[in-house]
Amino acid sequence: MELFLLIISILIIVIVLLQSNKASDSSQIISGGNENLFQNRKERGSELLITRITAILGITFIIVSFILYVK
């Protein structure tokens, strides 16, 4: 079960690194100057798939962690 948790952790790291950066410039990240960050923007295609995979892996990680904690 611990191996499964390790694999999920690695997959989450990889998938998060694949996600597109919503801040267009690194200085805007620090200063908070990106007005488009919280606007409604529809994800399409591969962005939507990566977002859904991230959510599924996150939920799976929480469930497996809880099972290991109770065990």
pLDDT mean for each 10 residues of the chain (71 residues): 94 90 57 58 80 94 95 80
Q: 10 with 16: CB under 8 angstroms?
A: no
Query: Which pLDDT does position 39 carry in this prediction?
Result: 61
CA distance 33 to 28: 5
Query: Which pLDDT does position 54 carry in this prediction?
Result: 94
Q: Is the alpha carbon torsion for 30, 34, 40, 46 positive or negative?
A: negative
Q: Is 52 left (phi over 0), alpha (psi -120 to 50) or beta?
A: alpha
Query: Which pLDDT does position 26 carry in this prediction?
Result: 55
